[in-house]
Structures are given as C-alpha cells and as structure tokens.
Amino acid sequence: MKFSAIILFLSFFIVINFVLTQSANLDISKFGGKPNADIAKALTSAWAEACASTTAVKIVIPSGTYQMTHVEVKGPCKAPIEIQVDGTIKAPPNPEDVGGEQWLRIGYVDHLTISGEGVFDGQGATAWKQNDCNKKFDCKLLGMNFGFNFINNSIVRNITSKDSKHFHVNVLGCNNFTFDGFKVSAPGDSHNTDGIHIGRSTDVNVLNTDIATGDDCVSMGDGCKKILVQNVNCGPGHGISIGSLGKYKEEESVEDITVKGCTLKETMNGVRIKTWPNTPSTITVTDMKFEDLTMDKVSNPVIIDQEYCPWNQCTKENPSKIKISKVSIKGIKGTSGTKEGLVLACSSGTPCEGVEISDVSLTFNGAPAIATCTNVKPTITGKAPACTAPTTDKKGSAPTTDKKGSAPTTDKKQKQ
Ligand SMILES: *[C@@H]1O[C@H](CO)[C@@H](O)[C@H](O)[C@H]1NC(C)=O
Ligand SMILES: *[C@@H]1O[C@H](CO)[C@@H](O)[C@H](O)[C@H]1NC(C)=O
Ligand SMILES: *[C@@H]1O[C@H](CO)[C@@H](O)[C@H](O)[C@H]1NC(C)=O
C-alpha cells in the first residue's frame, strides 16, 4: 500500500515535472503559416502567444520554402523564447514591398534563441542594383535582414543570412549576445551588405561563423565593449572593422575588443581601426587584441587609419582627437596583397600608445611585407617587421566607396 502510494506519487511528480520543464512547441502552421505563402502574420501571432507564456516556448518554422514581409516583434516577454527555423524564408525582391527597414526586427527581449539550419534569403539582387551609396553621400536605405535591438542574454545559432538587401545583421544596444555557427552569404560585389554590424553593445560574441559578403564581415561602431570575434572566416568582404569613429559628438568609447583565430581570404582589409580627422568627439579606443590571424591575399592585413575621410568630406588640417591605446597585434601570418602588411597611421594630435607587435610574418609576392608607422612607437617582440615611414600618402587609398562613415546611415543605425 505504502509502496504503491509512493510509486503513484513519484510518477505523478515525474509527469508534472516533465510538463513544467519541457518547453512547448508552437508550430507556425497552427497560426496559418504555410509553405509558399507570407508567414509574417503567423510568426507575429506565434510570438504574441509565446511572449505571454510564463514558461519557455519554442516557435518552430518547419522545413519548406516560405515568403515573408516585414515582421517586428517586441518584449518584454514572460519567459525565454526560441525560434527554430528549419525552412527557407524569402523576402520580397523589391525593397518597397518588404514594408520596413529591417526585415525581421526583434527588440527588448531577454533570453531569446534563434536556432536551426534554416535560411533567411533577403533576395537582395534587385536592391543592390538600386543601391547608389557608392556614388551618393545621401543614399537610400534598403532592408537589412535582421535588426536585434536592446536584447539581452541571447543567442543566434546555425541559421544562414543570405543576400540581404543592406546589412545582414544590425545589433544595437544588446548585452550578452552570441552568434555561434552563424553563416552569412552574399556576392563580393553586393554593396553595403555588412555581415554583422554591432553598435552600443556589451559582451557580444561572434563565434565559428563563416561570412562571405560585399562589405565588412564584422563592423563595430561606437559604444562597443567586450566584443569577441573568434574562429570567423571572412571572404569575400572588406574585413573586420572598428569604426568609423569620430564623426559625431555624442559617440561613446570603444573598449575590449578581441579578434582571434580568424582567417581572412582575399578581403580588402584584415583588421582595421578607422577614425575621422577633425573630430568633434574625444572618445577613446582601448584594449584591442588582434591575435592569431591568417591572411590570404588581404590588401591591408592590419591597418589603423586616423585620417579616414571618404569623399573629402572633411579637412585633414586638424588631427583626430580620438586616442587609441593598448593595441596588441600578435601572431599574424599569411599573404598581403600590398607591400605594407601593417599600416599604423595614428593621429598627430593624439599619438597611439601601448601598441605591441609580435610574431608577424606576412609576405607580399614572396618577400616579407613591411610595416609603416606614423605617430606611434610600437614595442616589437619576436619576429616582426620594423617600423618604416610611409613613402606615399597611403590614406588616399582608403576605400572611398565605403560608406559607413556617412551621416545618414550612421544616424539611422543608432536610432534603430
Ligand atoms: C537588458 O539589460 C539592461 C542592462 O542591464 C537593462 O537595463 C534592460 O532592461 C534589459 N532589457 C531586457 C529586455 O531585459
Ligand atoms: C549570457 O546569455 C546566455 C544565453 O542566454 C546565458 O546562458 C548566460 O548565462 C548569459 N551570461 C550571463 C553572464 O548572464
Ligand atoms: C549547429 O551546427 C553544427 C554543425 O553544423 C552542429 O554540430 C550543431 O549540432 C548545430 N547546433 C544546433 C544547436 O543545431
């Protein structure tokens, strides 16, 4: 008697426990989401139900091909939410038909997971043709695949972002946000299709991610703190970039950025820090670590450019006031596409400080690549090229088509 009562109690307890710990699955088909149709409404309804749930919920987009117009969902929600995407979701090719600047825009949530082997296909080819940002200062903004805004403790795992119309991902105001096994793919000549742009965020990790795109693979704007970019393959693309910084008064400092164990293949830059001259802001850039990087025919493997000034929008009379300090450049190998493997062009007003270079073995056409240094006295250890003075004004070669410094884009990015 006693024994069976215990068994009964235990099995009851196990069942209850199972019900409580198992997160409920919400298949979008329950909300009318069907292959080959627009699932925007179904996903929005599924989110509303998930967000109201007091226990963890998983929204599932099963395998199949779907269409989707702009979706914007927000928290705060009552419990963790996972969106598992196994299908391929396609955006309308015409930017005007998307219905928002960010195709999938998620904000103000804690404990979000996006997982699965699914693909978000921005179908950007039409938009790239309309994109005039390489010619015009004030150009049209076309849909980004993802906008993650003010999200904490969250992870994006394994899914693919394909052919975004503009940036693939914009991360703004997030804390503890991880990309793991994420994939970005777009052609090398698709303008402004940055892989992951991060701004004003703390503790963001980009891990084990393959990025092939037409602009920066990862770009970090002002207010980035504690960012780790590790085991990322970049190429084609413009490299991994910090900045541009210093164009606006209200910018926040950048600190503690580590880029390590990454491979860059035939990209414009490897790792780059760029700041505008004649800056209104006096922010600092400190604690940068660029380590164990492999370059494969990268035009500018390591570059600090404190005279970044596309389209001659500024004068170079007054130097940048942005102080760059504590930069470690360590274990950089492979091939450079130009003879300058390292270009450290620091500000004459605020020279770089605490720059350490060690174990750099880059070659250009079989010969060791050189390092040029201005307004910086790096500490060099191990095998690394000695500093030489730049022979020509290399800054002129900074890509003029790169438009992240332009006022409209940056403003827009920060407001999102
Ligand atoms: C995210 O964290 C910040 C800083 O701790 C906090 O102010 C904000 O309310 C959090 N947001 C959410 C959606 O939990
Ligand atoms: C960061 O977020 C992850 C994913 O939700 C979570 O497991 C981890 O505990 C968080 N870390 C901190 C320090 O809160
Ligand atoms: C992500 O992908 C990797 C390899 O492609 C796989 O090993 C891993 O299980 C996947 N993770 C999840 C959570 O699906």
Dump pLDDT digits (tens) for 327-358. 999 999 999 999 999 999 999 999 999 999 99
Token pair in block for residue 394: 């290399």
pLDDT at 4: 56
Q: Is 153 in the pocket of ligand 2 (CB under 6 A)?
A: yes
End-to-end CA distance of the chain: 65
Distance 97 CA to ligand 2 centre (A): 37
Predicted confidence (pLDDT) at residue 405 exceeds the cutoff of 70: no
Show the domains of the chain with their CATH numbers. Answer: 25-188 (2.160.20.10), 239-400 (2.160.20.10)
pLDDT at 335: 98
pLDDT digits (tens, 9 = 90+) for 350-400: 999 999 999 999 999 999 999 999 999 999 999 999 999 998 654 444 443
Q: Is 111 in the pocket of ligand 2 (CB under 6 A)?
A: yes
Token pair in block for residue 353: 């400080």
* Closest C-alpha to ligand 2, atom 5: 153
pLDDT at 400: 37
Cβ 415 vs Cβ 146: under 8 Å: no
pLDDT confidence of 139, banded at 50, 70, 90? low
Distance 152 CA to ligand 1 centre (A): 6
pLDDT confidence of 141, banded at 50, 70, 90? low
Predicted confidence (pLDDT) at residue 235 exceeds the cutoff of 50: yes
Sign, Cα dihedral of 380, 383, 386, 391 = negative
Percent of the chain scoring above 90 in pLDDT: 78
pLDDT digits (tens, 9 = 90+) for 170-207: 999 999 999 999 999 999 999 889 999 999 999 999 99
Which helix (H) or strand (E) segment is 193 a member of?
A: none
Predicted confidence (pLDDT) at residue 107 exceeds the cutoff of 80: yes
Number of neighbouring beta carbons within 10 Å of residue 364: 17
* Closest C-alpha to ligand 2, atom 3: 153
| Nearest ligand for residue 80 CA | 2
User: Pocket of ligand 1, candidates 51, 149, 175, 226: which has the most ligand atoms within 8 Å of its Cβ, to mutate?
Assistant: 175
Mean pLDDT of all residues in 295-314: 90
Mean pLDDT of all residues in 288-313: 93
Q: Is 153 in the pocket of ligand 1 (CB under 6 A)?
A: no
pLDDT at 22: 52
Higher pLDDT, 158 or 318: 158
Which of the residue ranges 97-106, 145-154, 395-404 would you say has the lowest mean pLDDT? 395-404
Which helix (H) or strand (E) segment is 69 a member of?
A: none
For residue 244, say if its preceding peptide bond is cis, omega within 30 degrees of 0: yes
Q: Is 108 in the pocket of ligand 1 (CB under 6 A)?
A: yes
Q: Is 109 in the pocket of ligand 1 (CB under 6 A)?
A: yes
For residue 236, say if its preceding peptide bond is cis, omega within 30 degrees of 0: yes
Please state the φ and ψ torsions of residue 128, each to the nearest 5 degrees: -60, -35
| Nearest ligand for residue 157 CA | 3
Cα distance between residue 62 and residue 249, in whole Å: 47
Cβ 156 vs Cβ 181: under 8 Å: no
User: Pocket of ligand 2, candidates 151, 176, 201: which has the most ligand atoms within 8 Å of its Cβ, to mutate?
Assistant: 176
pLDDT at 396: 41
Question: pTM value?
Answer: 0.89
* Residue carrying structure tokens 């929005």: 44
Residues that are catalytic: 238
pLDDT confidence of 228, banded at 50, 70, 90? very high
* Closest C-alpha to ligand 2, atom 13: 176
